[in-house]
Structure 1
Amino acid sequence: MKKFVLTLAAGFLFASPAWAAQKIHVLILDGESAASYHKWAAETPVLKKELDEAGLFDVDILTAPPAGGDFSQFHPDWSKYGVIVLNYDAPDERWSPQIKESFEKYMNAGGGLVTVHAADNAFPKWKAYNDMIGVGGWRGRTEEAGPHWIWKDGNLTEDEKPGRAGVHGNRIPFLVTARNTTHPIMRGLPATWMHQGDELYANLRGPGKMTVLATAYSDPRNHGTGDDEPMVMVSQFGKGRVVHTTWGHDVFALSSTDAVVIFKRSVEWAATGKVTQPVPPTFPTANTVTFRADLAAMDPNADKGVNGFDLTPPVRPARPAPEPPAAR
């Protein structure tokens, strides 16, 4: 087994290009998650810090009312923003038909959407939202939501087996494999790299309609599916661009250098269709986990130290050789 190395990436700053006319207006929307272990209130400041340091974005934060709250004044003006970042997971009934319709119009007209981790659990019966994100999990999703989509033999493939949508194992590092190296978000990234301790979402279901940029193997020894699962994907809704990332369970996971870099690039691409940000030298490799110590320190549990599970080197089992063809 190759030596597994952990390094801490120094805080890196990307300067705004001198020719940039104006910054991209970004709205981070938060306010709810299905359970307390998704600490959206701690994660949003991390996402904002990542965007602020790029020098390309002007970021607002909107916290939606909680369950049982007053939504009478919740009428976001989506059109003010080039990108909406959803750090948000709510059930179907939380948004009125009018709010959903206004968001669909925004996306159809060319808006941008970037979803983070549990945002793909949200709105299981909202067809347009599921068309945007391609696949989702939990909140009662089953095969009725669509097939389980996996990466197999070089293609995005349907797995039609019935069952509930959404599983993950313990938070350990996992190897990510680039599946599209020409997309602007992925250009310049290595073929494989380590993502630090995080939930590896698997068995997500939906209509598909997305282009997979990166995958990770869901190890059965860690409650996984045995399949290569989509981790980063893009899609189009009307004229709008969507980036769906499944990682980011907590602040520590969001501080993984690859998550930081791909998040910033995703927001820029969703707004403009281009990426101008370089890949930092601290980007992880196939044998190295790197993370932003300054971001990890923003975790509410940072004083407890790093979870040992987050630094456990994974060992990917060898896959069985294919059966020889039957004699004719």
Structure 2
Amino acid sequence: MKLFFKSTICYSLFLFIATTLCAMSKPPRILVFSKTEKFRHQSIAIGNVAIQEMGKANDFLVDTTTSAGQFTYNNLKRYAAVVFLSTTGDVLNPVQEKEFKKYINKGGGFVGVHAATDTEYDWEWYGDLVGAYFGGHPAGQVATLNVVDQSHISTMHLPKEWIRKDEWYNWKFIRKDLNVLITIDENTYKGGTNGDFHPMAWYHEFDGGRSFYTELGHTDASYKDPLFLNHLLGGIKYAAKFK
């Protein structure tokens, strides 16, 4: 009888260890969400592919979707972070908003790319999560970005002055307590309206989770640019707590 109990305990312990090791070895997963109710960026398609390739190269899995039906807590909790890739307009209904908020409250990660700030204008909590709301933009053009914090995983590889072409957003709302990573010099292009302090990328801890946003990523060329891709990868790693 004693031998039987010892064997049972050993077998149970083996199953526990095996299950734990299996769970530990399972690669983390992120969800890229690109539903649009207003303008749809052409770069979303190449952006999805680029993030999938990024995942393959960095040992995390990437699911992509345009379906807001994915926004249940039981589904979202499978993901280390959710990326809003140039979403626009009112993309979640009230029930889905509640489920997404629960995901963030319980430690989920959020990454906003470009038009993620052109999303959910009537949901104040989302505005605080993403950090700003879009207020218009001039034509795409070359400008100088100032990397004001090179200590973050998303910016440590970038030059202090980063000259590139993209579509530069102005803000009609921006939180004051963001950890700003990159600003844009309005003297280097036409159409800026936010003045001397015009943030372009930032991060913050918010309501239980982590949030990272980059305004960059309008153009197809962005998703072939190693500097931008490593910037985005760093943001994903921060939000997902990969490092």
Same fold? TM cut 0.5: yes
Q: How far apart in 1 are the matches of 2:224 and 2:131?
A: 25
Q: How far apart in 2 are the matches of 1:167 and 1:212?
A: 20
Q: How far apart in 2 are the matches of 1:38 and 1:176?
A: 23
Question: TM (normalized to structure 2)?
Answer: 0.79
Q: How far apart in 2 are the matches of 1:208 and 1:101?
A: 25
Q: How far apart in 1 are the matches of 2:37 and 2:225?
A: 22
Shift of 1:38: 4.5
Bigger Cα Rg: 2
Specify the code of the residue in structure 2 equivalent to 1:124. Y
Specify the code of the residue in structure 2 equivalent to 1:81. Y
SS of 1:247 mapped into structure 2: coil
SS of 1:183 mapped into structure 2: coil
Most deviating of 169-178 and 20-29: 20-29
Specify the code of the residue in structure 1 equivalent to 2:108. G
Within a 5 Å distance, the mapping from 1:182-197 to structure 2 comes to 182-195=151-164, 197=165
Shift of 1:208: 3.5
Question: TM (normalized to structure 1)?
Answer: 0.60
Inter-CA distance 128–74: structure 2 relative to 1 (3 Å threshold): closer
* Structure number with higher helix proportion: 2
User: Are 1:199 and 2:197 an aligned pair?
Assistant: no
User: Are 1:86 and 2:89 an aligned pair?
Assistant: no
User: Are 1:108 and 2:102 an aligned pair?
Assistant: no
Check the 8 A contact 2:37/2:89 in 1, yes or no.
no
Inter-CA distance 263–39: structure 2 relative to 1 (3 Å threshold): closer
Inter-CA distance 37–103: structure 2 relative to 1 (3 Å threshold): closer
Alpha-carbon RMSD: 2.4
Shift of 1:172: 2.2
Residue from 249, 253, 260 that aligns with 2:229: 260
Check the 8 A contact 1:167/1:201 in 2, yes or no.
yes
Structure 1 gap segments, 5+ residues each: 1-19, 66-70, 138-165, 275-328
* 1:31-50 residue CA offsets vs partner (Å, 9 max, x unmatched): 32522454533432233223
Matched residue, 2:55 = 51
* 1:28-73 residue CA offsets vs partner (Å, 9 max, x unmatched): 11132522454533432233223333x22111112226xxxxx6x8
Specify the code of the residue in structure 2 equivalent to 1:46. A
SS of 2:83 mapped into structure 1: strand
User: Are 1:179 and 2:148 an aligned pair?
Assistant: yes
Structure 2 gap segments, 5+ residues each: 1-23
Specify the code of the residue in structure 1 equivalent to 2:152. H
User: Are 1:123 and 2:120 an aligned pair?
Assistant: yes
Specify the code of the residue in structure 2 equivalent to 1:59. V
Q: How far apart in 1 are the matches of 2:86 and 2:189?
A: 30
Inter-CA distance 24–173: structure 2 relative to 1 (3 Å threshold): farther
SS of 1:51 mapped into structure 2: helix
